[in-house]
Structure 1
Amino acid sequence: MNQRRKIARDIVAPLIVLVCQSAVVNTAQAQSSVTLYGIVDGSILYTSHTLNTKTGGDSGSRVAFADSGSFPTVFGMRGSEDLGGGVRALFNLESGVSIANGALAHSNGNLFGRRAWVGIDSAYGVVKAGVQFSPFFQSLFALDPRDGSFFGSGFVNYADNVSVTGVFNANSITYTSPEIAGLQTTGMIAIGGLAGNFQAGRQYSANLNYHLGGLLVSAAMYNGNAADGAATTPVPTTTPFAGRMLGASYRFPNELTVKASYALYKVTGSFDSQVYSGGASYGLTSSVSIDAGVWYTRDGNDSANHSILVGSGVSMALSKQTSLYGQVGYVDNHGHMNTGLSVSNALYGVSGSTVGVTLGLRHLF
């Protein structure tokens, strides 16, 4: 009998240890996760008129390779860890890359210049610290009829007016509240870091969102000061401007989404751009979707400066991760307005009308 007990002990005990170790490992894996992700996007761009950046004149039509024809080419990693009690630690690192030459792009010029933050998520909200998108930019992106495409969208107006100020905010701290009765708000302050001058390079922003079924209403603001010697990134993100926006979207059960918004870019010593936009997107099939939008911009300082931008696109999914897309756009500039058609290779346009077309391929991973 003792011999049988010894044999059972020698066999069962190691099995119990192995099962316990496996349970601990699985629990640890469930509590912590890291995800690698990215987008690779490239296209061919045609414009009927092209701005000569040296003379300010018209260089005529052009065919060019456009890095990131619809969405930026990026790679990054994000993760979370369960700290217990409904609290999680979060982080996100994200870099932009040009597939035209392999250089850093679509960021503030640093390796992880798009996003580089760490945060805490709890029942009381989310706090993040590091390089982040401003609440103002996030509201504009959410209400853009073409989802912030690099071609023929509201993002062209944004970059045309203030470059990447308000998009990639260094030294920033944000707080996002829980959603209560459909209401949720996010606030941000970015500290310039110049000794003896708290105002230099300081940026602050906030938004307020209301959700009800398919309805989203959003209001947002942004204020940024000049750097005045404060530490800046390779691509300056401290263009002094005040931004305001108000808009709404509604998603119908039949895959149709309509959006409309008003945005103001009050740039110190430059345009006082008021942008009115509207448009819609629709899923024709499970693999084909279309969208279209119009953006009318006028200069509050001089009504002779105004432009209208129209953009439309169709995307066909070749698989769950790869899509072929085509886009067409039209812009008409008056006065000193220089609205372009594409963030890549056609950010600024010539006086008069320009037509553009792009055909590209996008892969997600």
Structure 2
Amino acid sequence: MSKTVLKINPFVAAIILAATCAGTAQAQSNVTIYGRVDAGLDFQSNQVGPNGTRGSAVTIGGNNWGTSMFGFKGVEDLGGGLKAIFTLENGFSANNGTTNGGPSRLWSRRSWVGLTGDFGTVKLGRDLTLPSDLVWSIDPTGQQNLSSATLAKGRNWPQTDNQIQYISPSFGGFVAQGSYGFGGVPGATKDKSTGGVALSYSQSNFTVLAMYDFMNNANGQYSSLYGDSINGTYGPSSQEITIGGTATFDKLKLFAAWQAITASKAVDTPYTRANQSWLGANYMLTPAWTLIGAAYYTKLNNDSGNAQLYMLGANYNLSKRTLLYGSVGTVRNKGQADFQVEVGSSAGMIAQNQNAIYTGISHSF
């Protein structure tokens, strides 16, 4: 008699196991399953195709508005105000079903455990870098594919392994935050290390933020402003300073920021510094409708040129969990600037212009 062997993807098996554990762990702790699925139609002009041909492309876009993800987070009350916390989170693309980070990485976005209490919060493990969460809060689009990430080539999106992170409690509106990712290179403390510090001040109608972060290469140097973080061959190795904030006036929320990225040993570009600034606004037309407008500008040093990105968008909440969105934008490259209108490969984009329109649906659970 022949036997049928059922093969299960390791990621699927982990989800089933974690869901089972979540159901049996309620008596000891509070475990939440959460996620988001984002997909839609995406049009981009002036795309570089096979053999260097150029033309427009229409696809089913994934993660244009926000990253599709699946995760578990939990908290256990240890008494005396002390709690144990954890998060396991993986990103994926809804348009093709592939997981981020490759088949060998089960939790591509977050896999950390920590403690929280009156002293603040300490987390250990893999997590997003400081800019991933903090730049999001001062970007008028929430770092969609048309956003500050465009003129930083996704530099503000990476995750960091071997990280320890501390977030202070609020002191009259002030919150301090710091992280350090150990490189793990024997005999060296700087090689492959990452980290940063941030200080924010928030009140009911405004927020200001100042942040410094760094990412070292395998030799402990800053050799690439952006790296090839999208194609995955190597990551950015640079320093960054970000200053920005928001102000809310009834239904209008304004955004402004300045950002400087430097790589003193840059070998892949004729420039070693890029200064980006942006202005933008959100207007709540109705409780369901939000209109978005933003302008971004980056100047490269060594007379290497500049780039501008302009975008308009709208979000419509069908419910608390389901959102319809649409955005249109254009990027204008001058000199050696080679930014793609949506975050992606910059091949063939030097001094080129490009337009994009995308619309879709995002459902959270």
Supply the AA of the counterpart residue of 1:217: V
Matches within 5 A, 1:332-347: 332-343=332-343
User: What is the count of residue pairs matched by the alignment?
Assistant: 327
* Percent of aligned positions that are identical: 28
Deviation digits for residues 18-39 of structure 1, max 9, x if unmatched? xxxxxxxxxx958621111111
Native 8 Å contact 1:108 1:236 kept in 2:
no
Supply the AA of the counterpart residue of 1:316: Y
Alpha-carbon distance in 2 for matches of 1:109, 1:256: 44
Alpha-carbon distance in 2 for matches of 1:75, 1:220: 28
- Partner secondary structure for residue 79 of structure 1: strand
Greater shift in the superposed pair: 342-351 or 92-101: 342-351
Distance of aligned partners of 1:36 and 1:239 in 2 relative to their CA distance in 1, 3 Å threshold: same
- Partner secondary structure for residue 101 of structure 1: coil
TM score, norm. by length of structure 1: 0.83
Give unpaired runs (5+ residues) of structure 1. Answer: 1-27
Asked which structure has the greater CA Rg, the reply is: 1
Greater shift in the superposed pair: 234-243 or 313-322: 234-243
Match of 1:158 in 2: 152
Deviation digits for residues 131-186 of structure 1, max 9, x if unmatched? 11222333211110111112x111222335x374xx30110001111111221110
Supply the AA of the counterpart residue of 1:242: Q
Native 8 Å contact 2:153 2:344 kept in 1:
no
Match of 1:316 in 2: 316
Alignment of 1:202 onto 2:193: yes
RMSD between aligned residues:
2.6
Give unpaired runs (5+ residues) of structure 2. Answer: 1-24, 221-228
Q: Which runs of 4+ in 1 moved over 3 A?
A: 28-31, 51-55, 106-109, 233-238, 344-350
Whose helix fraction is larger, Structure 1's or Structure 2's?
1
Matches within 5 A, 1:151-190: 152-160=146-154, 162=155, 164=157, 167-190=158-181
TM score, norm. by length of structure 2: 0.83
Greater shift in the superposed pair: 314-323 or 177-186: 314-323
Alpha-carbon distance in 1 for matches of 2:345, 2:39: 12
Supply the AA of the counterpart residue of 2:150: V
Native 8 Å contact 1:42 1:69 kept in 2:
yes
Alpha-carbon distance in 2 for matches of 1:39, 1:87: 30
Counterpart among 57, 74, 99 of residue 94 in structure 2 = 99
Alpha-carbon distance in 2 for matches of 1:108, 1:180: 42
- Partner secondary structure for residue 279 of structure 2: strand
Alpha-carbon distance in 2 for matches of 1:290, 1:95: 30
Alpha-carbon distance in 2 for matches of 1:133, 1:225: 16
Distance of aligned partners of 1:238 and 1:265 in 2 relative to their CA distance in 1, 3 Å threshold: same
Alpha-carbon distance in 2 for matches of 1:356, 1:346: 15
Supply the AA of the counterpart residue of 2:167: T
Native 8 Å contact 2:334 2:350 kept in 1:
no
Distance of aligned partners of 1:312 and 1:147 in 2 relative to their CA distance in 1, 3 Å threshold: same
Alpha-carbon distance in 1 for matches of 2:348, 2:64: 16
